[in-house]
Structures are given as structure tokens and as C-alpha cells.
Structure 1
Amino acid sequence: MEFTPKQLELKRENHYVWANYLRNWSSNNSSVWYTTKKLKIANDSVKAIAKEKDFYRYRYITEQHLELILFISKQSPEELQKHHKLYLKPFLQLQEVESLYIKSGKNDKKVLAYIEAFKSNTIENLHTEHEKDVEIILKGLQNYDLTILDDLQNTCKFMNYWGHQIARTKPFRDKIIASQESEQLQKIYKESWWFISYMFGMNLGKSFFETRKIDKHCLLINETNEDFITSDHPIINVHESINENNIAVPSEDEADFFYAISPKLGYMINRSNRFKKGINYISIDFVKEINRKLAFYADQYIIGTTETQLKIYKTFVGKRLKFINEIKSNQVNKTKA
């Protein structure tokens, strides 16, 4: 099978939030206001933010990595375990092929280019496909057309995208890694994250799809004088009972997941009765509450339509992860003492 030069280009700058989605906060379809690592406010292209080099790139799977991946997979229903193994198999095969190729002593530039492209591009390409799957759905929702989700295939695609957009981000990774008990386990998690995150995304997407008739799917129209912001962790649980200064895992019923589709439109999947199923018009108090929570759960980036708005919320950025790390540090110190 021949590959084009384009297919062999390495996709190393991996966005963990869809750049085209962030354009909804742009006045020129390119640049947005956002917070920097030092909590300054800047304006730049959506292509420059919410990304990390080689974030989704394959890393060699040792026995330790494989044990962790399979252990996590085994917590899932058998059907999902089969899917996990199906997606994992090509990477294990690649390892075998690369090992045999190295032992052969050959040096074929085309073969090496294919191997490197597979390592860098495979997971990134999967996320690109999920994004393409929901383009038409998101456009429909922006026209307040909820009937687009009457099609079961569309709902399946949207929930799959939803699950991955939760699990694929850097803040989600850092939160999961920080919650692990030892530095060694944290290290193995981080090295395996390129695949673990994709498993988590599959699991979450399937779960949201299966509970679609239990949950309330709500379209939230924002006609207030304040826009929704978004962040590097754009889908968060905003259930009112959750104590942000607590690392306890919420119960199954404490689940109101919010996603800002645009500055004037949000989507929620609720277990509570906070909003009715279908179209809702929301208050400015709700917008402010959501924006504060989005900033609180963000790692570095909050994105908005104006510099002025980000000045209000930037003081909350990164506080959740800082809180988790402080608790872990205190636990380690107590153990040493």
C-alpha cells in the first residue's frame, strides 16, 4: 500500500481541544482571547493554544504498560474490552514489526517514514474523525435544532465525541495522574496515557449513549449580556451538590455535565432537575456560575470573546489541580513522618 507525502507528515502538535470549535469565540474566525501559563491575557490563533507536542504519540508498550492498560480495560464490560484490544492490537503489531525490521539491518526510508507516521498520527487521526462526525450535529444545535439528535447514529457520534472531549484533555490527564498513589504508578500512567485516554473516551461515550433515556439532554440558550467562556477542559460536571474543595468522587446521580458549544449556547446532560429536557433560556447568574467553574477546573487556558471578561475569571484558573496536588503532597508527607 502506497502512502502520499501528506499521509506521512508527522502530526506532532496535538490539540487536546478542537481548534475549529474554539473559533466560535473568535471575531475573525482565527484568533481568540485566552490566558497564558503565567495568567497573562493574550490574543492569538486557535492553532497556537490547547495543545501539547506529541500528546497523542505512541510510546513503546512495556510489560508494565500493558499490565496497566489491560487492568483498566478489565474494569469495563466485555464488549468494551474487545474494542480496547482491537484498537491496541495494531500498536503491539507495530512493535513486533519494528523490532524485526531493526534486527534485519535494513534502512529503507519509506518503511521508517511509515513507522514514524503511524506512531505520531494514529490517535490524532482518530480524534479528527470524531470531530468530523459531529460538524453537522453542532451546526444543527447552533440553529436550535434538537431533532438532529433524533437520528440514533447522530446521537451515537455526538456521545462518542462528548466522551473523548472529556478524556482527551491535559487537565483530565493531570487530574487522573495526580490521584495515583505512588510516583512509579504516576510514571507508568503518564507513559501509557496516549492509549489510556482513548479507552476512557470510548467508555465515557458509550456510557452517555446508554443512559440517554435516563439523562436529561438540555440545550441552554444564553441571551444574557455575558458570554459563556470555554477552557482547556471544556466539558465539566457542574452538579450543584459537588464541593469543589473536595476530592471525593461524585455519586452517579451527582452528574450534570456542561459543554459550551458557543458563547451563546450550551449543552447539558443532566441527572438533576435543574433544567428540563429540550430548550431552556438561562439566567446571567447561571452563566457566571458556569464561567467560574470552567476557570476553576481549567489547567491553563480559559478562552473568551473579550479581554475584559477573562480578567474577571483568570484568578480561578488552575485552582482545582493545585488543590489536588496539595492534598497528595500532604498525604505523602504524613506517610514519611
Structure 2
Amino acid sequence: MDAKYFEAKRKHHHVWADYLKRWSADGINVYHSTPTRKIKLDSVRGLAMDLDFYRVTHLAEYDVKVILQWSSRAAEDLQYAHRSYLNDFLRFQRASEIYKGSRRKIEVIEKSIKALKSNLMENLHSAHERDASPILKDLAGGKLSCLYESGSIIKFTTFLGHQFARTKNFKDRTFHAFREDTVESVEFLRSMKNSWWFLSYMFGMNLGRELYLFRSGYTHSLLFNNTGVSFITSDQPAINVHPQVWETSSQPEFLDLYYPISPRYAYIICESNIFIGGVTEVTVEQVVQLNQKMAARSSSLIVGSDYESIEEFISLVGQNR
């Protein structure tokens, strides 16, 4: 068996490192903010990454109950898909328990279990990235026609759904919204934290399906930036920029999903009428507003193509987490 099969991929990027390279002049290093509000030029490999972020944990009966409780809010076909993925992980968990109960020590099995705990969810995200890679490459070159090809739009919306839900920032925001004022709520939140590696994937599935099935109700625009101000991105690169989100603290009812693809191109899926659809050239005022929202919604990291693009927006980092 290939030795790579036994390598536990513990460095889990919740923002795709290859995506961040589009802001790099040399294909490796980018200008970015630090948690202490400094600006550095550094490799993308250490950015938006946490050790064991998607590592599979043991799911107790209560954890499964909480997952299915969240799943029950989705459409029936999605619930079926959720259970299918969940059952795959539960079969792996059961097989690991059987092996552990045997009290045998078989090196190849020990290594396999260790690697799979680190790699199973990471591999799922990597598969979505591979599906989206040629699409993003075309969009970064201004070729909107790539989304007219069969199967492309569902691959793209699925990728966007997961990129929205898989970040550490989204995880922290979700948990921060929960009140721990009863024993039940404390237990419920503890369970969510334990199974977040699966819940976040499930939430990403839900959003990706919504964007695909109801795509005719949204305006899709590839934003072309020919101004002197580049698009920036962050540790939460897919964000809701609908005006309602920034005017009220209540749960938003509408979605304008914005995703910068490169310093010159971005994609937005709108319920509002802020863009007309198709390839749309943006003004410098629009670029600045989108960059402001990107920085405000970030946790601690914004990424740009030059020092000045970070310096202009670094004071806004994390203001609207």
C-alpha cells in the first residue's frame, strides 16, 4: 500500500491555500494581516490553517441525536444525504471500536485508523476543491461561460456552500450565538463542538443545494475590477454582503453571497438588485465597500496583492464578526 495512505494530514486549511495564491506575485507568498494588526509577507501554507480542525471525533448517541435534529430542518432529500454521509463515518467508528475491543495490536490497522481520523473530512473538502479548480481558473480569467457547461454550476455552488460554512470564523460565530443558561443548552453546545467537523459539512451541503436549486431566483455576476484598488480576501472569503446584514443585528433573511476570486475578479450571487448580472465592471467605490465588508467580517486575517491593499482596510478587521 502507498505510504502516503498512512500520512495523517493534520494541517487543515479552512481556506484553500491554492486559492490564496491568486493574491501572490511569486506563487507562494502573500501580504496579510496578523492577529496583532501587523502586515506580513509570508507563505500561504500557514494561513487560515489549524491543526486537526476537521479531525473525526467519537460520536456518542447524543451527538448523533443532535446532528439529526439539525438535519431535520432540511429538505427530505438533503436529510437522506446527511444520513448517508453520517452512516459512513459511524461505520468507520464502529469498525475502530471492534478493533480496539479485540485488544490486538496490528501496526497497519493502527496507522490506518490514525490517518483516516485526520484525512476523511479533509479529503471530502479537497474533492470539492478539485471540482471547483478549473472553474475558478476560468473565472479568474474573466470567462463566465465556464458555468454554462453541464455540471459546472452545481460543482461551483457546492464549493461556495462549503467555503462559507467550513471556516473557523463561521464556527466561532455560530457558537458565540448560543446561550448557555441551562444544563440542556450546555450539553447541546458541547455536543455541537464535538461534532462540528460533520455539522459544518452538513451546513455547507445545505447552502450549496439552496444556491443551485433556486439559482433562477438569484442574479449571478462576475465582477470585473479595473480600478486602482484590488479586491482583498480573508479567513472568511465567502460572505453575505446584502444590505440587511449590515443594517440590523437580527438573523438575515436575504443573501448576497460574495466571493473574491482574484485581485481583479469576484463572484456574487444576489437576491438584491445591486448588480445586473453577467460580467459587470465595478467602480472604485464598489470595490472599497466590498473590501470593507470583507475585512469587517474576517476574524483576524485579510489577504491582499500588495502592502497598501492591506494597510487601507486593516483597521476594520474583525469589526463585524
Tell me the TM-score normalised to structure 1 length. Answer: 0.91
Q: Deviations over 1:119-170 (max 9, x none)?
A: 1101100111111101111122123222211123011100110100101111
- Report the Cα distance in structure 2 between the residues aligned to 1:208 and 1:190, rounded to whole angstroms: 26
Query: Is 1:234–1:260's contact at 8 Å kept on the other side of the alignment?
Result: yes
Contact 1:228–1:260, Cα closer than 8 Å, also in 2: yes
Task: Kindly report the root-mean-square deviation, in angstroms, between the aligned alpha carbons of the 2 structures.
Answer: 1.2
Any gaps of 5 or more consecutive residues in structure 1? Answer: 322-337
Deviations 1:27-46 (A, max 9, x none): 10000011112221111110
Between the aligned partners of 1:132 and 1:64, the Cα distance in structure 2 is 34
Which amino acid in the other structure matches residue 129 of structure 1? A
Shift of 1:237: 0.9
Structure 1 residue 116, shift from structure 2 partner = 1.2
Moved over 6 A (4+): none
* Deviation of 1:316 (Å): 1.3
One-letter amino acid matched to 1:101? Y
Cα distance in 2 for partners of 1:39, 1:109 equals 46
1:158 aligned residue (156, 161, 170): 156
CA contact (8 A) 2:224 2:282 kept: yes
Q: Please point out which of 242, 245, 249 is paired with 1:247.
A: 249
Q: Aligned equivalents of 1:105 and 1:250: distance in 2?
A: 52
Give SS of 1:263's match: coil
Q: Which runs of 5+ in 2 are unaligned?
A: 181-185
Provide the aligned length of Structure 1 versus Structure 2: 316
Tell whether 2:232 aligns with 1:229.
Answer: yes
Partner of 1:265: 265
Conserved? CA contact 2:71–2:79, under 8 Å? yes
Q: Which residue in 1 is equivalent to 2:39?
A: 41
Match of 1:329 in 2: none
1:102-117 counterparts in 2 under 5 A?
102-117=100-115
Q: Which of 78, 82, 92 does residue 80 from structure 1 map onto? A: 78
Distance, in Å, in 1 between the alignment partners of 2:148 and 2:24 is 30
Q: Deviations over 1:3-40 (max 9, x none)?
A: 42102100101000010000000010000011112221
Equivalent-residue separation in structure 2 for 1:45 and 1:18 (angstroms): 13
Question: Secondary structure of 1:60's partner?
Answer: coil
Partner of 1:286: 286
C-alpha distance in 2 between matches for 1:125 and 1:136: 18
1:32-71 equivalence runs, <5 A: 32-71=30-69
**What does residue 183 of structure 2 align with?**
none
Does 1:195 find its partner at 2:198? yes
Aligned pairs for 1:72-151 within 5 A: 72-151=70-149
TM-score for both structures, normalised by structure 2: 0.95
Residue 327 of structure 1 aligns with which residue?
none
Show CA shifts across 1:250-279 (max 9, x none): 11xx32111100000010001111111101
